[in-house]
Amino acid sequence: MTLRTSQWVGLSLLLGLLLFSLLGITLSPYSISQQDLNAILVPPNSDHWLGTDHFGRSMLSRMAHAIGLSFALGILCVVTSAFLGAALGVTAVWAGKRVDQALAIVVNILLALPGLVIVLLFAAIAPGSFWVLYIAISLVQWVEYFRVTRAITQGVIQSPARQSSNMMGFGIWYQFRRHIWPAIAPSVFTLAAFGGANAILTMASLGFVYVGIQPPLAELGLMAVELFPFYSEAPWLLAQPLVVIALMVFGFHLLAGKRA
């Protein structure tokens, strides 16, 4: 697969943030909840490279863990929703009219409910649960993969090349690899890139309203709302989670661009 320059920039940006997270988690001598009450709202220095927050906690450690958490959720949601949506989208076309109609009913029910409402309902059931957020966001995102792969597969399944393979006795797995996957792969990868950005934004949005990941865990949206009262006293602290959220979303959007 050939990537354009903008996609390489996006991929490099995301890998850089991931590397920062891994190095920060591994090498920082401070835990995310370790407090130093003699160093509250300290600006970046040799001891605390990104400063400390209002509880004297290392911003480097907290940012590294928050970025890692966002990447973990984004990747898990993308992999789950892409696999589920693409598999059901292809199955809906291949398995016949009844299966297609049954899946269409399920999708229409989900589309009738705003995605954010579904996520908020799950978050209210188990506040602060990473795995509940993962299930809720995946449940919302797989629908787009289903609709796109189903629409593309409908054209491919009737193509002379696919029908020739079927008449020659090639198996379903061969027909999928030879005819369907090459047709749906570009759209699946584009949706996956946007899906990663949306998952991170959803997680941060829930943190903004205190229904996502709960303290003392570090999460970018939660950190932003915790540090907001100190924006005039220590603006560099509030800027850190906001800039990282913007960079992560920007990186995923660049990655979603059209391939060369």
91 φ/ψ sector (left φ>0, alpha ψ -120 to 50, else beta)? alpha
> Could you tell me the residue ranges of all domains in the chain?
5-30+39-256
Rounded CA-CA distance 212/8 in Å is: 32
Q: Is the pLDDT of residue 258 over 70?
A: no
pLDDT at 118 over 90: no
- Distance, CA of 227 to CA of 117 (rounded, Å): 26
User: Which of the pair, 2 or 250, is modelled with greater confidence?
Assistant: 250
Question: Taking 60 as the threshold, does the pLDDT of residue 147 lie above it?
Answer: yes
259 — pLDDT class (breaks 50, 70, 90): low
Specify the CATH number for 5-30+39-256; select among 1.10.3720.10, 3.30.450.20, 3.40.109.10, 3.30.365.10: 1.10.3720.10
Note the pLDDT tens digit of each residue in 203-217.
Answer: 898 888 888 888 888
> CB atoms < 10 A from the CB of 126, how many?
13
pLDDT score, position 260: 53
2: pLDDT strictly greater than 80: no
Both tokens assigned to 7:
């996609």
CB-CB contact of 247 with 13 (8 Å): yes
Distance CA 194, CA 248 (A): 11
Q: Rounded CA gap, 105 and 109, in Å? A: 6
pLDDT tens, 27-84?
Answer: 888 899 888 888 899 999 888 889 999 999 999 999 999 999 999 999 999 999 999 9
Phi then psi dihedrals of residue 127, to 5 deg: -60, 135
